[in-house]
Structure 1
Amino acid sequence: MAAGLPTAMDRPHFIGIGGAGMSGIAKILAQRGAKVAGSDAKESATAEALRALGATVHIGHAADHLASDASCVVVSSAIRADNPELARAAELGIPVVHRSDALASLMHGLRAIAVAGTHGKTTTTSMLAVSLSELGLAPSYAIGGDLDAPGSNALHGEGEIFVAEADESDRSFHKYAPEVAIVLNVELDHHANYASMDEIYESFETFVDKIVPGGTLVIAADHEGARELTRRVRAGDVRVVTYGESADADVRILSVTAQGLKSEVKVLLDGVELTFGVSVPGRHYAHNAVAALAAGVALGVPAAELAVSLGAYTGVKRRLQLKGEAAGVQVIDSYAHHPTEMTADLEAMRAGASGRILVVFQPHLFSRTQELGKEMGQALSLADASVVLDIYPAREDPIPGVTSELIIEAARAAGADVTPVHDRADIPAVVAGMAERGDLVLTMGAGDVTDLGPRILDRLSA
């Protein structure tokens, strides 16, 4: 068995093993020598990638999928209490471990960087994973999205650094004790778990308190929520490093220059100017890259070398990912589902696009739509035209009166051209009828809207 594998995790069973966070932990455990098993609702490329590592993956949830000799059952907050495998674990007396505890055990003894924030976690974690790997530091990493292939969201590396995406949605990031923590931004989201900004701030304060003594907090200087958090936590034996375009930022962004669907960033760090390329468009991605730079430097990685290696990052699936081009129309996929993310991605596309921007938007979660539907509609006004689907429920039950019509009304009030489409099967034909040569189509949302990109391309090619 590989060194560093906790005994309790030597035969884990994952309920929902195909999920972004769960599959990453399962992959690392399999690479460390664990006998990994689990179940998921449906077949996927991720399930196949796990099987290729020796994991047993069952499709569907059933009590007999759980082996009696499993050392633990790993769950996320999305797993309901009536899951048959969870009930079977209770009958057998098998310990149930939350995903965050499993990830924390993998980071133990390593120099951890935990990336937190309401938006940008996956991108920033990916940038660090790629750039540190380019420098030969062989980091381990666990990311909430695939870099370039199914299953590439995680890796057990032989180096001393572990880079992890730290999820605030269910307060699970309180379990980590990083040497370096990044906070990209702080906004109200995840309304089923947080009732106010005060609760959000308290949660992020707890996360910052977990930084090891002598460690570093890298935090945005330009974002008001992050600045408020800095005011609350600037004390103790943790070094605080701010980054951004603000004049008082410790790592100051001097300029971000758009170069088509890429950008060039110039920063001032410790009195030295550094210029490097970012191979994804938009000011917010440039800020993510600078956060990654500051975190790496905090671990002792030479700034000039890290700046160059950051240019090796070419994107992560669903983060402004080019799906293809047909009939002179580009189709790009965006994971944006919060108004701030939507606005940032649309502004990035506007800076790099020569034609019209057409959006296919699928709202994610009834609770989020109830709280932020107006702001989502206002964000869509940045597009030339939008198609809005019904709400993707994910783990939630419907809320009476909460539909995508809330977003459509707000978008129209902001002057947007919006078309509601209730049947996903109609989307390719609708978009093909709207699109003209030179246009850019953006499929946007955290649900299964991502599956529509290839279908739109097929229809455009017909």
Structure 2
Amino acid sequence: MTPGLPTAMDRPHFIGIGGAGMSGIAKILAQRGAQVAGSDSRDSDTADALRAHGATVHIGHAPGHLSDDATCVVISSAIRADNPELARAAELGVPVVHRSDALAGLMHGLRPIAVAGTHGKTTTTSMLAVSLSALGLDPSYAIGGDLDAPGSNAHHGAGDIFVAEADESDRSFHKYAPQVAIILNAELDHHANYASMDEIYESFETFVGKVVPGGTLVVSSDQAGAAEIAGRVSGNRDLNIVTYGEHEGADVWIRKITPRGLTSEVCVVLDGREIVFTVSVPGSHYAHNAVAALAAGVALGIPAEELAAALGKYTGVKRRLQLKGEAAGVQVIDSYAHHPTEMTADLQAIRGAAGDARILVLFQPHLFSRTQELGKEMGQALTLADASVVLDIYPAREDPVPGVTSEIIIAAARAAGADVTAEHDKSAAAAVVAGMTKPGDLVLTMGAGDVTDIGPQILAHLSH
């Protein structure tokens, strides 16, 4: 099955084409035959991967990058209103399309699975993409991270299933009409867009309301926020609700999770049948993600035993507890965790797999608004490490907020008894962390910004 191009998407121009979400949509459009162009602030392996698919990628933002024959301009919420290419689009009268609308268009005519939640979206979407592909179903997918190589975050498949992350951060997930929706969890985050948990709940309720009549909601019964949403939508007669969790009353009962080093063995009970399978990443939160993926696939009619076995083919996604290498007896692992819940989950997973090894963390806070609201909780999460180095805040799309610095995190961590130091010079961080290590240690580079680039630098210092 090969859907055509959405209306006016045959010559799209992407502003910020190298971003995780944007690049995936651009790749799928290129694979469907569109003449894709775009720009990004810096060159990257992702940009090269897009060029390999025939896309034109400009570096930097300038009015001249937008071709006169572009049929639309695709943007994300991160693109500022004063972007010169956006201004040029207005002059030319070129329609501006939000990333979520473009993705919704790509899903049209297929059977979409939309994966939502404050944490775990990328992992769960990846698990579905890998396992469905292993079963020969050739799904289309759009993921917020690369599976194994630059540009592997998206694929246009010949099958009729489309798996996509559903991003709640800017309410863009309201644009989708999935056959199966997954809600992994719901916590207060993205403080620039949500002022309270009630606003979060209302937003997720709207998302669930977009599920096609007769469709399915797969939802965690263990996580309080997700369970609250399930209760709020339980009166919808056009919706099948499937719960999963570690208590026997769940529709998919997680009977046991057994850690096995850097993997886990998971035993679930589904429709009275016991199914045991392996998850090739450590930690109970990843096991829960795999069970959510299992329940979603079963809702589309895929045999549970076959899908469970295929889930064992998943070996991780970049930046989700990804082993970057080992030098001088020290392993360096990369973690995308940037919310306190994620930080805690990843540190607990590594602690469970590492035995008596020391765990050192290089943490880079992400966003001033998040640090302002959750900085103390981030500091408390760092108490799970043996020692931590904290960098300055990675601003991403935000302007600085007076009085909001990484010192909020450091002070909270020290107050809780953690060994934490500040490092304001990012270029010195690799040498500082390498100097703290001894053979047998584990180092985590942690955060959603460019801290990931420092892992290889730490390995290089250790190798000398």
Q: Give the TM-score band, short-chain normalised.
A: over 0.9
Gaps of 5+ in 1: none
Report the Cα distance in structure 2 between the residues aligned to 1:372 and 1:246, rounded to whole angstroms.
30
What residue identity is the alignment partner of 2:161? I
Superposed counterparts of 1:253-292, under 5 Å: 253-292=254-293
C-alpha distance in 2 between matches for 1:386 and 1:154: 34
CA distance in 2, matches of 1:303, 1:406: 46
Cα shift readout 1:378-402 (whole Å, capped 9, x = no counterpart)? 0000001100000000000010100
Counterpart code for 1:245: E
Offset, 1:432: 1.5
SS at match of 1:330: strand
Q: List per-residue Cα deviations over 1:40-95 (Å, max 9, x = no partner).
A: 00000000000000000000000010001101000000000000100000000000
Q: 2 CA distance for matches of 1:296 and 1:347?
A: 28
Shift of 1:320: 0.3
State the superposition RMSD in angstroms. 0.6
Query: C-alpha distance in 2, partners of 1:68/1:390?
Result: 41
Q: What is the rounded CA distance, in whole Å, between the counterparts of 1:412 and 1:271 in structure 2?
A: 49
1:150 aligns with 2:143: no
- CA-CA distance at 1:427 after TM superposition: 1.2
The CA distance in 1 between the partners of 2:235 and 2:342, in whole Å, is 31
Secondary structure at the residue paired with 1:381?
helix
- Other-structure match for 1:57: 57
- Report the equivalent of 1:305: 306
Q: Which residue pairs with 1:416 in the alignment?
A: 418
| Residue 388 of structure 1 pairs with residue 390 of structure 2 | yes
Cα pair 2:268 2:276 within 8 Å, conserved: yes
Corresponding residue for residue 359 of structure 1: 361
Q: Which residue type is aligned with residue 272 of structure 1?
A: R
Matched residue type, 1:291:
A
Mapped partners of 2:120, 2:113: distance in 1: 15
Give the AA of the match of 1:350: R
Letter in 2 for 1:388: V
- The residue type equivalent to 2:168 in the other structure is E
2:234 matched residue in structure 1? 234
Runs of 4+ in 1 over 6 A off after TM superposition: none
Number of the residue aligned with 2:328: 327
Give the drift of 1:247: 2.6
Q: Is residue 379 of structure 2 the alignment partner of residue 377 of structure 1?
A: yes
Q: How far 1:246 sits from its partner (Å)?
A: 2.1
Q: Work out the CA distance in 2 between the residues paired with 1:380 and 1:335.
A: 14
Counterpart for residue 444 of structure 1: 446
User: SS of the counterpart of 1:24?
Assistant: helix
The code of the aligned residue for 1:149 comes to: A
- % of aligned pairs identical? 80
In the alignment, is the contact (CA less than 8 A) between 2:116 and 2:184 conserved in 1?
Answer: yes
Distance 1:335 1:432 in 2: 20
The farther-off stretch of 301-310 and 239-248 is 239-248
1:31-42 mapped onto 2 (5 Å cutoff): 31-42=31-42
* Aligned equivalents of 1:220, 1:61: Cα separation in 2: 42
Q: 1:271 to 1:3 in 2, by over 3 A?
A: closer
Matched residue of 2:384: which SS?
coil
Secondary structure of 2:138's counterpart equals coil
1:30, 1:450 → 2: CA distance?
28
User: Does the Cα contact within 8 Å between 2:3 and 2:109 map onto a contact in 1?
Assistant: no
Which residues of 2 match residues 416-435 of structure 1 at below 5 A?
A: 416-435=418-437
Supply the distance in 2 between the matched residues of 1:436 and 1:345 (Cα, whole angstroms).
22
Give the aligned partner of residue 368 of structure 1: 370
| 1:248 to partner: Cα distance | 1.7
The answer on 1:249 being equivalent to 2:250 is yes
Find the aligned partners of 2:129 and 2:39 in 1 and give their Cα distance. Answer: 27
SS of structure 2 residue aligned to 1:7: coil
Q: Which amino acid aligns with 1:54?
A: G
Mapped to 1, the partners of 2:158 and 2:100 lie a distance apart of: 22
Question: Once the 2 structures are TM-superposed, how far is the Cα of residue 102 of structure 1 from its aligned partner?
Answer: 0.1
Amino acid at match of 1:64: G
SS of residue matched to 1:23: helix
Q: Which amino acid aligns with 2:458?
A: I
TM-score (structure 1 length as normaliser): 0.99
One-letter code aligned to 2:155? L
In the alignment, is the contact (CA less than 8 A) between 2:248 and 2:255 conserved in 1?
no
Counterpart AA for 2:104: A
Which residue of structure 2 aligns with residue 19 of structure 1? 19
Q: Aligned partners of 1:216, 1:112: CA distance in 2, in Å?
A: 11
Structure 1 residue 35 displacement after superposition: 0.4
Gaps of 5+ in 2: none
* Whole-angstrom CA distance in 1 between matches of 2:321 and 2:375: 22
Distance apart, 1:174 and its partner CA: 0.1
Matched to 1:313, the amino acid is Y
- TM-superposed CA distance for 1:6, in Å, is 1.6
Residue in structure 1 matched with residue 112 of structure 2 by the alignment: 112
- Counterpart CA distance in 2 for 1:444 and 1:246 is 32
**What is the aligned partner in structure 1 of residue 200 from structure 2?**
200
Kept in 1: contact 2:297–2:307 (CA 8 A):
yes
Q: CA deviation at 1:3?
A: 4.2
For 1:189, the equivalent position in structure 2 comes to 189
